[in-house]
Structures are given as structure tokens and as C-alpha cells.
Chain A
Amino acid sequence: MKKRRLVIRTIILLLLAAAVAYTLYANFTKDNKQKVAVNSIAPDFALVDMQGKKHRLSDFRGQGVFLNFWGTWCPPCKKEMPYINNQYNQYKDNGVQVVSVDIQESELAVNQFAERLKLDFPIMIDKDKEVMNTYGIDLLPATFLIDKNGKVVKYYTGELTEERIREFMEKIKP
């Protein structure tokens, strides 16, 4: 009798505690728009680059992918671009690919930007912000490091130094 009472009370309290814990947890995570977690498989996408070539993220399996989101109007993006380009040229033969996604700008702006900074890696425009929304990106520049198995190794928002970019590329080198 006494034991039964304890069991019933424990069950009821646990149920209530679980409901409260879930609500609090959901409330904390709801503002966190980051939809792609580290160690998860990077969501696949397909975009056409400035030369008209279609790239699928999953085509790069077996290589490390340095996925960079940016805009021509964003000063830190502009600053890190030449460094990314340098390191791209160093690592492209070592199995690291740079995939550079501009968010919703005109081809003219992107082409002129790429020309001025002499960028060698493939650049694509996310016209409808679909890839951006899939990756839950809020601030630019945003960089995802994806290893040869398509897994996200690291996520970084903000300007990168050349040193750091090299570090990152080293990390995803197959």
C-alpha cells in the first residue's frame, strides 16, 4: 500500500518533470537557428557556378570541402577572400575543395567582385536563399568545414585569418 503510493507519486512527478524539462529545453533551443550541427552529414545542395557548371555538394565526397557563404557587400567577406584563394591554390591538389556561395546578389556584382579579387575557386549564387535557409545561416561570412565523408567538422562565423584558413584546410585534408 505504502509502496504503491510511492510508485504512483514518483511516476506522476516524473511525468510532470519531463514535461517541464522538455518545454524549457525547447524554449532554449528555439532561437538557435543553426540547423546543421557539427558531426552531422552536411545537407546536400545543387547550385550553378558563374561558368554555368552545376555543382552538387555530394559530388565532392572523398575530398574535404571548405564551404563559405558570403556577400560582396560584406567587408569581412571581402577581406578573407584573397586568403581563401591563396590557400585554395595550395590545397586544391591535396583534396580540399572550396565551394563559395554568394547570397542572393546579381551576377554582375558577383562577377565583378570575383574578377577584381582574381578568385579561382567555383562561385555560385544562392538566388532564393534556399541553401542559406537549409544551413540556417544568419550572419555572414559563415564557413562550414566538411570532411571527405560529407560530415560537418566545424562551423565558423566571422572573418578568417589566413593562418586559420590553413588550419581549417589541414583539418579536412583527406
Chain B
Amino acid sequence: MAEKKTMENEPDLLRVEDLHTYFFTEDGVVKAVDGVTFNVKRGEVLGLVGESGSGKSVTALSVLRLIPQPPGKIISGDIIWKGESILDIPESDMRTIRGNQIAVVFQDPMTSLNPVLTIGDQIKEAIKLHQQVSDLEAEEKTKTLLELVGIPDAGKRLKDYPWQFSGGMRQRVMIALALSCNPDLLIADEPTTALDVTIQAQVLDLMRDLKERFQTSIILITHDIGVIAEMCDRVAVMYAGNIVELADVITIFKEPKHPYTKALLKAIPSANSSRDEELYSIPGSIPNLINPPSGCRFHPRCEEARPECSEIVPDTVELEPGHFVRCLLYTGQIEIMK
């Protein structure tokens, strides 16, 4: 308990404030991320969950300032890394943060690794880019890293190319690469989606172990609600560019407040649901973000929608300490209107 107190008092490692990232395409402006606020504390795992097109990955890329520009642009908002805004710092300074302090693991390890360089060379490159070490030291460190992520016979496998590794091994290499500079924050974008369940279990165990050993914070982006339940301390549920609910993992699963969170949890088949029970499905489909629905973006699909939901954009309210919801049922905005 005492430990938790100190964690709470500590300043946030990362704060994202009212972030708006838009893409200016030929068809119109895609409001991919539209007012997202969250924070990440040291040593915690924050889950970003939502369907495709909800803005999870764009949020992560915005934090890294890797949004392709044009067409993308961070319109407004702020990203505070260790107490300082990193939105306007020069690209050269950003490069010392990216990879060094904030590392990232993407979904498909085959496309993130360079196919014509050996695994060893790729990890060494990252180490030498960010740290003043000799060739030999870098090689030693590479070997230790590969051993750390559980690659057998690491010394020999340094000289192998990515295609000589299996999917799970490649993802471990990606994690080793991400860890090469002891980052404070690891952003894992669907790290296990391309993997089998048994290999997924190994990779998740590895990430959990890293968090405990090095106090690395993790932003885990996934659409797999099971993975969220197992890994995360806090969860942010995203829908159409907004965070609709943010709370600790137990609250999200046991006392969800936002209708979308409730619907999402109902839509997954439970372990012992029988074949005859109809699975709950959310009517309609994900909105087009060029022309999102007015008011609350979820209202056309929401079971609990009121007439006012199509008119008023909901504010985010804190129901209990740490439990944020963006829904008119809780904000009191409807009553004020009346």
C-alpha cells in the first residue's frame, strides 16, 4: 500500500493533454484523434483498447511524433514527457528521446525488421546510435539482451537474419531492440496479435517481467480484451477518436459505466457461454471520421441514447477518483440544458 502511495505522488512520466491529430486527405479532414487526455505513471501498464479506426495507433504515433506529415498533423493539445512539452522541440532532440527513452514494438515484426541486416547488426545499430560504447561492448550488450528475452543460443543467433526466426522469436527480437536503451516507456502496438496463443503467453510474460524488473511503463494497444484483463493496471477505452472511459482495470471490467464499454464487454464470448445464447452485437458500424456523428460519436449505435445525445458533445467527468467517463448520462449536461 505504501508503495502505491509513492507511485501516486510521483509526477506522471507522460501526460497527453487534449490531443487532436487530424489527417488532411483528398476526401476531407479525418479527425482520427479528437481530444484525448491521459497520463502514464512510472511502472504501470496502460491499456488502449478499441476497434479499428478508434485512434489507438494514431495516439501512439502522435506521442512518438511519427505521424506522417503531410497528410497528418497534430492540430492542438500537448504531450508532456517527464514534465516538459515535447511537441515543439526540434527533431534532433526528439530523436534522442525516441528509441532511447520511449521505445516502440509494432504488430508485425517481419515488416519492422530490416530483412537484409542480421539481427545482431540491427540491435547494435540502435545501441551505438544512442550510447557511447565500443563495438565490442555493443556486441556484448546485444547478446545479453537476446538472452534476456529468452532466445536460446543468443551468441550464435546474432548472425542470423530475420527470416531465420519464427514469428514469436522475431517479436522477442523486436522487444530486445526496443529495450536496447533501457527505455522508460515502451509502446506496444498490438504486440501479440500476429502470434499464436501459446507464443502470445510467452511474450506477455516477458513484458510483465520487464515491467517488474526495470519499472518500465508500458502503453499496450490491443483489441483483445483478454490481453487487457491480464496485463493492464489501467485501461482507456477508445471510440472514434475519443477516450470514452478511463479507469483501473477492475473497475472497467466489473463496473463499466459508458454504454460502449458495456457493449464491448458483452460482445465477447465468455468462457462458458452456450451455443444457444445469442451473442450481443453492437448495431451499426464504426463511423466515418471525416464526418463523425454530431454530439456523442457513439449515439447512433448506443442502446441508452437520449434525444439530446445527438446534439450535445459530452464532457469528460471524473465519477470517482481515477474513473473518467465521457457520456451525457453522467455529466449532468442534459439537466443543465433543461
Q: Do A and B come from one complex?
A: no
Residues of A participating in the B interface, judged by any CB pair closer than 8 Å: none
Residues of B participating in the A interface, judged by any CB pair closer than 8 Å: none
